[in-house]
Amino acid sequence: MKPTPRLRYSRLAAADRRHVWHPFTQMRNWEREPFPIIERARGNYLFDVSGKRYLDGVSSLWVTVHGHRHPRIDAAVAAQLGRVAHTTFLGLSHPPAIELAGRLAGIAPRGLNRVFYSDNGSTAVEIALKMAFQHRRQRGERRRTRFLAFRNSYHGDTIGSVSVGGIDLFHSIFRPLLFDALFAESPYCYRCPAKRSYPACGTACLESAESLMKKHGREIAAVVVEPLVQAAAGMLVYPADFLRGLRDLCAKHGILLIADEVATGFGRTGAMFACGKAGVSPDLMALAKGITGGYLPLAATLATEEIYESFKGRHEEFRAFFHGHTYTANPLACAAALANLDVFEEEKTLERLGSRIPRLASRLQELRNVRIVGDVRQEGMMVGIELVKNSRTKTVHPPKERIGHRVVLEARKRGVILRPLGNVIVLMPPLSITPREIDRLVDVAKESIEAASEN
Ligand SMILES: Cc1ncc(COP(=O)(O)O)c(C=O)c1O
């Protein structure tokens, strides 16, 4: 006899608690609290094992682009499955990866012509760091061994990407293991370290990066930055002038610019890439998350021809880039990525966002009147709602209150999946979200914040 949905849930939940260890999760809490078990999805919705439907308000952690089970991407993955699921990229190549490299080079900011594949955002950044480092050495610039990053930055969880991470909560415990990066002030306008406001400040926060470059310029191989939004720190949206100013400073000091577009890439800011939106061309660019439309793990590090050329030489010189992963350029993932780009063209996804983004912006205004909302930040379809105990003094909620988590539980009751970043509630819906769903997402976020602040 088939178990009832309730029995099935309890069996699965018990088995999860017995064997699974979830990411970024205090498992003691996990073991005590109920959690949805997602069984299937369609469009902008997820369905749990009891059949309850949830609007996917965070694009399944910032990956889903055109909705779940998009027929075009489903078909592309199925067709590729009928050919080959995996073949190594060491010593061999395959059509989807070849075609995808050309398409990525075609849509990337000017100059990024080379594509090196991997399988997640952390490795895409790690590869950019290693490429920059090796490039410098092969050009005889042996003193340029350091990296400049920003406070509040997040570039992933591998040791190299953690070394350039600036979120103490995630990163400080690992400090003894990390390489010594330089950290400049973060462009966090709501809590501006200089207590100034944009545009009157003239992006004064960039001075911190500038003075580090003046002092250490000749030791720095590259700067790594999340363009336009420091996402994992709580969707810290900053002005394009800051990014353009950083590009100019890099050029002046002969420093490479690595843009980490893992979160911002593939339409999230309303443009294909945040760098393109700001009119900035980096020397290296890391892509992952939305690259496959949210279907399969794939990442790419794009590089200029100049960087690529410095790795060429006679075999016995050993200038090759000694880096690779077993699933580098997995064909199923590349097929999904190609279909993802096709859907952008066929459904005119970016053009359609032209009206959705202002709608989201106007609905978000209502949140500003909620007592515990300190700041509402938006860049395209990326939104951060910073909760505070007192909006005049900007006092933060202590961690033990778990205010973000309480909001998420309220939203879940109302059929919307959200995910907090500390005291910041993130909204990052799939680009396929409809105007009515935008209204619902914002309504539920508002109700949930109000409910969590009352109990
Ligand atoms: C800007 C940025 N870089 C890198 C990463 C790491 O990506 P992954 O989780 O795929 O390793 C993330 C993940 O959130 C990110 O937001």
Q: Is 2 among the domain residues?
A: no
pLDDT at 455 over 80: no
34 in helix, strand or coil? coil
pLDDT digit string, tens, across residues 340-383 = 999 999 999 999 999 999 999 999 999 999 999 999 999 999 99
> In CATH, what number is assigned to the domain containing residue 402?
3.90.1150.10
| Whether residue 316 sits in one domain with residue 394 | no
Mean pLDDT of 138-160: 97
**Cα–Cα distance between 9 and 36 in angstroms, integer?**
9
* pLDDT tens-digit readout, 295-325: 999 999 999 999 999 999 999 999 999 999 9
Domain with 60 in it: 36-66+348-454
Residue 399 CA to ligand 1 centre (angstroms): 23
Q: Which atom of ligand 1 is nearest to the CA of 232?
A: 16
Phi, psi angle pair for 180, to nearest 5°: -90, 95
Q: Which of 303, 323, 346 delimits the end of a domain? A: 346
- 169: burial class by Cβ within 10 Å (0-12, 13-18, 19+)? exposed
Residue 22 lies in a domain: no
Cα(60) to centroid(ligand 1), Å: 13
User: For the chain, how big is the Rg over CA atoms in Å?
Assistant: 22
Residue 168 in this model has a pLDDT that exceeds 90 = no
Which residue is closest in CA terms to ligand 1's atom 13?
156
The CATH number covering residue 198 comes to 3.40.640.10
Q: pLDDT tens across 238-279, in order?
A: 999 999 999 999 999 999 999 999 999 999 999 999 999 999
Whether 134 and 252 map to the same domain: the answer is yes
In testing the pocket of ligand 1, which one of 63, 122, 325 has its CB within 8 Å of the most ligand atoms?
122
- From the CA of 288, give the closest atom in ligand 1: 10
Whether the per-residue pLDDT at 3 is higher than 90: the answer is: no
Q: For the stretch 46-61, what's the b/e string if a residue is b when 16 or more beta carbons lie within 10 angstroms of its beta carbon?
A: bbbbeeeebbbbbbbe
Chain segment 44-85, per-residue pLDDT in tens: 999 999 999 999 999 999 999 999 999 999 999 999 999 999
Distance CA 363, CA 83 (A): 46
Spatial distance between the Cα atoms of 282 and 303, rounded to a whole number of angstroms: 9
Q: Which of 289, 301, 327 to mutate to test the pocket of ligand 1 (most atoms within 8 A of CB)?
A: 289
Nearest-atom index, ligand 1, CA of 123: 11
| pLDDT (tens digit per residue) in 377-431 | 999 999 999 999 988 899 999 999 999 999 999 999 999 999 999 999 999 999 9
What is the CA(261)–ligand 1 centre distance, in A? 9
Q: Please tell me the distance between residue 234's alpha carbon and the centre of ligand 1 in angstroms.
A: 13
Cα of 305 vs centre of ligand 1, distance in Å, is: 25
According to the model, what pLDDT value does residue 169 have?
A: 84
Distance 227 CA to ligand 1 centre (A): 13
Tell me, yes or no, whether 337 and 274 share the same domain. Answer: yes
Residue 26 placed within a domain: no
Total domains in the chain come to 2
The three-class DSSP label of residue 175 is helix
The Å distance, Cα 288 to ligand 1 centre, comes to 8
Give residue 323 CA to ligand 1 midpoint distance, Å: 19
Last residue of a domain, one of 310, 330, 346: 346
Q: Could you identify the atom of ligand 1 that is nearest to the CA of residue 153?
A: 1
Same domain, 48 and 160: no
CA distance 444 to 455: 16
Residue 30 lies inside a defined structural domain of this protein: no
Helix (H) or strand (E) holding 375: strand 373-379
State whether 340 and 444 are in the same domain. Answer: no
Region of 91 (left: φ > 0; alpha: ψ -120 to 50; beta: rest) is left
Residue 31 forms part of a structural domain: no
Q: Which long-range contacts (CB under 8 A, 24 or more apart) does 82-85 make?
A: 83/331, 84/331, 85/330, 85/331, 85/332
Atom number of ligand 1 nearest to Cα 156: 6
Type of residue at 393: T
Average pLDDT over every residue of 178-198: 94
Ligand 1 geometric centre to CA of 120 (Å): 7
Q: Which residues line ligand 1 (CB under 6 A)?
A: 120-122, 125, 154-156, 226, 231-232, 260, 262-263, 288
Choosing from 280, 314, 346, the residue where a domain stops is 346
Residue 261 CA: which ligand 1 atom is closest?
1
* 42 belongs to a structural domain: yes
Q: Which atom of ligand 1 is nearest to the CA of 161?
A: 4
Minimal-distance CA residue to ligand 1 atom 8: 121
